[in-house]
Amino acid sequence: MPRSVALGFDSSTQSTKALVLDVETGEIVAEARAPHSGADTQHPDEWWTALRSATRAAVGAEHRVVALAVAGQQHGLVALDAAGGVVRPAPLWNNVAAAPDAARLNEAADFAGQVGSRLVASFTIAKLAHLARTAPADLDRTVAVGLPHDWLNLRLTGELASDRGDASGSGWWSPREGRERRDLLALAVGPETAGRLRLPAVRGADEPAGVLSAAAAAALGLPAGIPVGAGTGDNMAAALGVGAAPAELTISLGTSGTAFAVVDGPTADPTGEVCGFADATGRFLPLACMLNCTRVVDTVAGLLGIERGAALDRAGAVAPGAGGLLLLPYLAGERTPNLPEATGSVTGLTGATATPDALLRAALDGVAAGLAYCVEALARLGVVAPAVTLTGGGSAHPAWRQAIADATGLPVTVREGGEHAARGAALQAAALAHGEPVADVAARWRPAVTAEVAPRPQARPAFALDERRRLIAERVGHGPSEAVPTLGSEQGRPSVTVGADAV
């Protein structure tokens, strides 16, 4: 008899991952992936083609899929015409072309106060404002807009549906109020367009998006009518996948790097460094994000002609600090700190540090220091925790684990499984099949700890956290301020823990 399973997807910048999970035991029984182009602007058809391929590779005759759900990369803009077709390729979260539009919108309204997040180029509403400014004819053709996971829900069910987690990254939906803010949308596209645009219906944490349509079922090789979960953003799904609970800090290492925690109340950071998102359980998810994460080491490794695993092995064998070689990893602009036009830089290059291994180590240090910056940004908001749970593709390698522990000064825990976002989507689907809250399912099937790494306090100064802060301050046009704590300093750090009391 076929095994009853839930199917979860992680549709990311680089690929779509499919994960098959036994709905009775929570065991992962199959996985597959299919690539995307990896560009910062992609046609949504890429995601559908990859989802179809991954499904057919992961699901076998021995599986009976009883529910499915999609986690998707946050923020990207999909514009649809009256026939449901894609108006133009979608700018993704890491496309920084909308930076001036985000700045204009921030001047027009207090987005941090209204929707929990001061805008940066990543946010969907900024990308919509960019469309209005640069391609008004395309905006005139647009009748509906959504985020990547919303569009995949449309392909699966015929319903343009989202969840509160992904919707909270749009810039037009308030997690505090739980509603659309078309008055803010009007600042981006004008009142008339804001009034006519169709926006995704926002489902609750335990509500379905719909059921698998006949056309989608035929494309995937599955029966029609299967319940489809609301889905969520990839970071919200990763929190589900590791079973994140209040009072825990999670760092995700992927194309982007994020630091976040589940809390019981909404947050708002007027500096814009921490986004006040909702999560996928009915709670909230303050999050700080780097655009440049594991791909920084990958880029340096490619430049040197070294395979990724070998590059990380060699980087891990070099002492933190790379002998004084310091790399700022802003290869594609940056979001935290908000430097959309920044480029990477290397300082401290000498005869002794001009080696491949030192450069690899400097790249590793640069990203780890940037994530320490994100942790400090959360701490300034009162979101602190005694340890880090590491997730994402980078969490599989010991060099990343030790670098994050050393740079943050916090112990690192790694949990079983490498595709936590896809697992989170599968858990959401399993909860739908069981008819119980997804938070309960995620807690019951929390993956086991597979590694624990202690920080080496003597190593932390080698990351030159204060020097990096000084260089960042120079880039934004002012010196270090007493109002902005020095990176790496424990002075002034709030003595509160993640949870309701922190907000």
Its sign, for the CA torsion 222, 227, 232, 237, is negative
Please report, for residues 44, 79, 80, 148, 194, the alpha-carbon distance to residue 83 in angstroms, rounded to integers and kept in the order given. 15, 12, 8, 18, 19
pLDDT in tens, the chain (503 residues): 899 999 999 999 999 999 999 999 999 999 999 999 989 999 999 999 999 999 999 999 999 999 999 999 999 999 999 999 999 999 999 999 999 999 999 999 999 999 999 999 999 999 999 999 999 999 999 999 999 999 999 999 999 999 999 999 999 999 999 999 999 999 999 999 999 999 999 999 999 999 999 999 999 999 999 999 999 999 999 999 999 988 789 999 988 899 999 999 999 999 889 999 999 999 999 999 998 999 999 999 999 999 999 999 999 999 999 999 999 999 988 888 888 888 999 999 999 999 999 999 999 999 999 999 999 999 998 999 999 999 988 999 999 999 999 999 999 999 998 899 999 999 999 999 999 999 999 999 999 999 999 999 999 999 999 999 888 888 766 433 333 333 333 333 332 333 333 32
Rounded CA-CA distance 218/397 in Å is: 39
**Catalytic residues, which ones?**
234
Q: Characterize 133-156 residue by residue with b for buried, 16 or more Cβ atoms within 10 angstroms of its Cβ, and e for exposed.
A: eeeeeebeebebbbbbbbbbbbbb
Distance CA 360, CA 191 (A): 50
* Alpha carbon distance 402, 406 (integer Å): 6
Which of 451, 453, 445, 439 is closest to 415 using CA atoms?
Answer: 451
Taking the C-alpha atoms of residue 439 and residue 205, their distance in angstroms, rounded to an integer, is 9
DSSP string, 301-342: HHHHT--HHHHHHHHHTSPTTGGG-EEE--BTBBTTTTBTT-
- Amino acid found at 437: P
- Assessment of whether the complete model's pTM goes beyond 0.75: yes
Q: Crossing angle for the helix pair 420-434 and 234-241, nearest 10 degrees?
A: 80
The residue ranges of every structural domain in the chain are 3-233
For residue 438, give both structure tokens: 């997804």
Token couple for 337: 């700190």
In DSSP notation, 90-159 reads EE-TT--TTHHHHHHHHHHS-HHHHHSB---TTSHHHHHHHHHHH-HHHHHH--EEE-HHHHHHHHHHS-
Q: What values do phi and psi take at 260, rounded to 5?
A: -155, 165
Tell me which fold the domain 3-233 belongs to: Nucleotidyltransferase; domain 5 (3.30.420)
Tokens of 32: 């597959």
Q: Which of 235, 283, 289, 243 is nearest to 263 (CA)?
A: 283
Q: How far is CA 190 from CA 106, 132, 193, 195, 340, in A?
A: 16, 9, 6, 9, 25
User: For 441, what's the count of Cα atoms within 13 Å in the CB-facing half-sphere?
Assistant: 31
The strand ranges marked E within 291-448 are 326-328, 345-347, 388-391, 412-415
How buried is 217 (Cβ within 10 angstroms: 0-12 exposed, 13-18 middle, 19+ buried)? middle
Residue identified by tokens 């590779």 is 57
9: which strand partners? 18, 70
User: Is the Cα torsion angle 88, 89, 91, 92 positive or negative in sign?
Assistant: positive
User: How buried is 93 (Cβ within 10 angstroms: 0-12 exposed, 13-18 middle, 19+ buried)?
Assistant: buried
